[in-house]
Structure 1
Amino acid sequence: MFNLSFGAAAGALALAIVATPLAASDDDHHDYNEEDQAGDFAYEAPAKPTEAWMLAAGGRIYDKWWAALDRPEPVYFTHPAYPATATKSGADTWRCVTCHGWDYKGATGIFRAGEDYTGIKGIDGAIGRDEGEIIALLRAPLHGYTQEMIGDEEIGWLAAFVSRGQIDMSKYVDLSTREIVAGDIDNGRAVFQTNCAACHGFDGRQLNWGGPGEDAFVGTEASDLPDEVMNKILNAHPGVWMINLRAFGPGVAADVLRYAATLPQE
């Protein structure tokens, strides 16, 4: 969904601080390769990862691990533990979020009915659980995540997210109506205009994920899928050059979510 690249903004800033009034030539890039930098930010780990970085990384793995880790998509077959009565198949069934939900409550949360229903419980019961125990469950046949899929260090980030990175989504989104119930619009506007707008534009319509004749802008997604968008704001969308607000906490993320829902939807 979200792809908050700062390539354009960084380029503009670089030109603004050049002492000479002459514009830089096409060859004068100071060896800065935007695609390489984006790849590093999307897929690499810092030398000394902070708690906030690890929890956000784990949240992206929870979302779609192969995109977050630059691994092959598991297209070979539907996950063996995915219920035959549920509606999805193939790679989607290997995503944690497909069964456990964006609110982490699984069959008792927003995914309690409709096309996303699986009958599988959420991960909210694992809050505070020993991370070693969580890793063992993820490696066990029920989940079946091999080291080739998610490496040992990476699965530690996922376990940290499950144990310490979940938020109480009901504080920000009504789990019955899927309406946003909290957030300071004015603060959200300030954060959006000074960060998110670099890629999404000030009106949120610079990127469109919709198909022909069906727009899907920031405003559209925030209004229709606020629990999912809240996760993207906190952890970033996996596999793209996007900032996240994990270090600033869910309150600021909720502010951005509420403001984003006021942006144009078409």
Structure 2
Amino acid sequence: MPQLAALAIGVGMLGASASFAADQGSIARGGKLYDKWYKVIKEEPPAESHKLYPADATYADKAKSNWRCKECHGWDGMGADGAYSSGKHFSGIKGINGMKGGDPAAVVALLAGPGHGYGDYLYEEDLTDLANFVVSGQSNYGDYIEDGKIVGDVENGKQVYATVCANCHGADGKEPKEMPPLGSLTGNPWELMHKVLNGQPGETMPALRAIDHQIAADVIAYIDAELPEQ
């Protein structure tokens, strides 16, 4: 049971930071869990809203949204101090950026504890991967964004897209049919950077995290500049 795994971690592993190997595969999976954990573990989301999500915020009555880590803390990890400082996603909740470089075991204990409540749903591996993302996987997306757009080498992005992305998304970015064209998704560069680096929850999309993050920015710059919105 997840509760038992959480108990074992929270009580028995607080001093065992060395057991958390912050490898890129773990971090990328943690990034997907941060995005939409219930898709990753192939379970239904909780029916009740997360108790830490403010009752007066936009998604207070939508548990599928307010149980996603990104909904409170933002794609950039900065919460109320970042891209979610205003607009429909504003919740007033602080970011996770203060946990960069911290102790993964301490993050696991926080996630599994009664406040966040993820110990009721996630197993040891899940909590470990999510903690590794929080501690070692937060990227400075702002370094690649200027005036709300990703800055990158369009030609280089074209070559990467053609060899890595086109097989699933098509040369024009209009595959698979059940999702919007990629060219229409560039209005949220923080989300796109997160997904290109870590992958899409519940899908076989490759994660580019282990290579220079500028390459992810180049791919998005190409999508923005060359692929159709419709």
- Structure 2 counterpart of 1:217, one-letter code: P
Which residues in structure 2 correspond to 1:173-188 (within 5 Å)? 173-174=145-146, 177-180=147-150, 182-188=151-157
2:74 matches 1:105: no
Aligned residues: 207
2:192 to 229, 251, 266: 229
- Counterpart in 1 of 2:170? 201
- Structure 2 counterpart of 1:250, one-letter code: H
2:52 matches 1:81: yes
When residues 102 and 90 of structure 1 are mapped into structure 2, their CA distance, relative to the original with a 3 A threshold, is: same
Q: Which has the larger radius of gyration?
A: 1
Deviations 1:91-123 (A, max 9, x none): 211110000001111101111111100000111
Deviations 1:137-158 (A, max 9, x none): 1112221112x41101210010
Q: Equivalents in 2 of 1:73, 1:150: separation in Å?
A: 11
Q: Equivalents in 1 of 2:108, 2:65: separation in Å?
A: 21
- Counterpart in 2 of 1:252? 215
RMSD between aligned residues = 1.5
2:164 matches 1:164: no
Identity fraction in percent: 40
Q: Equivalents in 2 of 1:108, 1:192: separation in Å?
A: 32
- Counterpart in 1 of 2:224? 261
Shift of 1:209: 5.1
- Structure 1 counterpart of 2:189, one-letter code: P
- Counterpart in 1 of 2:16? none
When residues 82 and 218 of structure 1 are mapped into structure 2, their CA distance, relative to the original with a 3 A threshold, is: same
- Structure 1 counterpart of 2:78, one-letter code: K
TM-score normalised to structure 1 length: 0.74
- Structure 2's unaligned 5+ residue stretches are 1-20
TM-score normalised to structure 2 length: 0.86
1:144 to 117, 134, 140: 117
- Structure 1 counterpart of 2:116, one-letter code: H
2:32 matches 1:63: no
Aligned to 1:115, what secondary structure does the other structure show?
Answer: coil
Shift of 1:208: 4.5
Shift of 1:243: 1.0
Segments of 4+ moved more than 4 angstroms: none
- Counterpart in 2 of 1:155? 127
Deviations 1:60-92 (A, max 9, x none): 000000101112222x11111100110102221
- Counterpart in 2 of 1:95? 68
Q: Does the 8 Å CA contact 1:110/1:178 hold for their aligned counterparts?
A: no
- Comparing 136-145 and 97-106, the one that deviates more: 136-145
- Counterpart in 1 of 2:89? 116
Shift of 1:186: 1.1
- Structure 1's unaligned 5+ residue stretches are 1-48, 211-215
Q: Does the 8 Å CA contact 1:87/1:115 hold for their aligned counterparts?
A: yes
Q: Does the 8 Å CA contact 1:63/1:96 hold for their aligned counterparts?
A: yes
Q: Equivalents in 1 of 2:112, 2:183: separation in Å?
A: 38
2:181 to 206, 217, 228: 217
Q: Equivalents in 2 of 1:185, 1:51: separation in Å?
A: 29
- Comparing 160-169 and 50-59, the one that deviates more: 50-59
